[in-house]
Chain A
């Protein structure tokens, strides 16, 4: 394999995993933009979707139906989360909201441990997603292709949504200036519900793809991915949708780069380097790459 082909191979890896991060980060960004809430529990939506899909598969459903079931489960859970845990504390200081999302995570994870036992279970990846396609010397898994394609489609749909539909524009307005949006008569409850619904739906998609990729599910599976999603979101600038997408792909690329460039002794420390890189980035750009420049000193 020539160096170019190797690079191409890795690039595809990076885009594939970056896509997953991007989808997760969008969900986080949507909610943060409007509510200023860092939803820790977003990762557990991934877990819920995966388990729901697994349940459907065990009950004999075809994969596409199980995937839909998973996505539906995530969406419903996300909406419930908003209604029960976050709406009552709207307007509370950011810290309180962050900690509450922490509590929701603990709740969901322990619920899953209670229901499904703390060990992991295998996730039957359908044959169509486990194929290894060969294009000359390049090996591309069908799952990667699928992930990239789905993400592409979803991003296009999302862009159309936020630029062409009234609800989409309302969401953008609400995330820029919630007070002004309220003064226009925007139904804030509906907008927030939509933000959670869309974010949770995307989390469900990520759940299916992620479980298919690693071949198993466990109650704590959502935790590390959501941390990465935060990183992606922060890189791009919290609250910005294009920033989330950019951050996701940058993170994916960074991970693959480090994986390749780090000496073997240091590869297990890859994630530490990623987070260290994040902290360094924040030193220079405290609001992320696409975030607002340094807040003005009044």
Chain B
């Protein structure tokens, strides 16, 4: 027997989801039509960050296994897709030594992105299988090793990547809609995964690995799945980013770049999907404000001189403060509960009746 009010809760949930969707789509339409180029860039960047943070959360926050090398998957997605979408003429100029089967290829955006994602996923499978036996600090160091390996390959495999030189001329396929479309896919996919049986397994493992093993839950399989899906999504974000910024080099995919995403994760709360989104929004806004301040501001009375690097330092300080005072982040492991926002009075009614 379903408890009374169940129907209305389900209906309420669907309505809430639709409302949210409408709000976001509406916001995007407004941004697309009306907002300045700068705002549009920020919103695109925000969307990409959301994909990165949510997928990192899938890999770290839910399984408790911390991958410091995730930005390596972003690089794989970026370079793979960019090489595939680069116009043939540009390939001849910039990547003259490309193997012939690639030199003539020019793909549209979506297939290239998907291929990048799948490649990252396959690599994640191999890496994941190796790393799954490790725990604690050893995983962290091993994932760092992975990132270094990716970095070294990118910098030295001149034929494919132009080495340390800038990879330019990537067609700017990325639009607001592509990014937020993928962001929606990411959020939905991770949400479903977490709420599914697999997801419950992952939480169980994170909280108590030994107990989970005794229940016969395959620790490895659940973690591997999370790791691979996460890699796929991260690579997609990489492709989106590559086709947004249109020129980049291996330097963009190294540890300190990863720090911004990690800050968003920590601020929002590891283990909360909505927290990741909140974290991404907060930190993006904060970064933009700080970045503008970095250039120096003239407030009339006070003159703040240009201080480069200050925004990073401030982020680091914020990070440490959050870890000290609110180590679980803003949302910890809970999600934003819309039910509570809309359901207040009716809930209390039912409770009184029972009591």
Q: Do A and B bind each other?
A: yes
Whether the Cβ atoms of B323 and A96 lie closer than 8 Å is yes
Flag if B130 contacts A283 (CB, 8 Å): yes
Report the separation of the CA atoms of residues A295 and B323 in the bound assembly, to the nearest whole angstrom.
Answer: 29
Cβ < 8 Å to B, chain A residues 269-293: 269, 271-272, 275-276, 278-279, 282-283, 286-288
- Docked-complex contact B259 and A272, CB < 8 angstroms: no
* B side interface size, CB within 8 A: 46
- Give the residue of A230, A272, A287 whose beta carbon is less than 8 angstroms from that of B153: A272
- Complex interface bits, A90-117 against B, C-beta within 8 A gives 1, otherwise 0: 0011111011101111110111011000
Q: Answer yes or no: A268 CB below 8 A from chain B CBs.
A: yes
- A283 adjacent to B133 (CB under 8 Å): yes
CB distance from B56 to the nearest CB of A (A): 12
Contact B262 A99 (CB under 8 A): yes
Given contacts A269-B152, A286-B134, A287-B138, contact A114 B308 (CB under 8 A): yes
Residue picked from B137, B144, B259, most chain A C-beta under 10 Å: B137
Q: Is B79 an interface residue (CB 8 A)?
A: no
Minimal beta-carbon separation of B264 from chain A (angstroms): 12
Residues of B with C-beta under 8 A to A110: 309-310, 312-313, 316
Q: How many A-B residue pairs have CB under 8 A?
A: 125
Count of interface residues, chain A, beta-carbon cutoff 8 Å: 46
Given A104-B316, A114-B310, A298-B210, answer yes or no on A92-B327 (Cβ-Cβ < 8 Å). yes
The distance from the CB of A244 to the nearest CB of chain B, in whole angstroms, is: 13
CA of A281 to CA of B242, assembled, Å: 35
The 8 closest A-B pairs by CB, nearest first: A275-B145, A110-B309, A272-B152, A107-B316, A268-B156, A103-B319, A110-B312, A103-B316
Interface residues of B (CB under 8 A from A): 60, 64, 66, 68, 130-131, 133-138, 140-142, 144-146, 148-149, 152-153, 155-156, 210, 255-256, 259, 262-263, 266, 270, 307-310, 312-313, 315-317, 319-320, 323-324, 327
Residues of chain A at the chain B interface (Cβ within 8 Å): 32, 36, 38, 85, 88-89, 92-96, 98-100, 102-107, 109-111, 113-114, 223, 227, 230-231, 234, 238, 268-269, 271-272, 275-276, 278-279, 282-283, 286-288, 295, 298
Q: A275-B149, A276-B149 are in contact. List 16 more A-B contacts (CB 8 A).
A: A95-B64, A98-B140, A102-B259, A103-B316, A103-B317, A104-B320, A106-B315, A107-B320, A110-B313, A114-B307, A227-B144, A238-B137, A272-B152, A283-B130, A286-B135, A298-B210
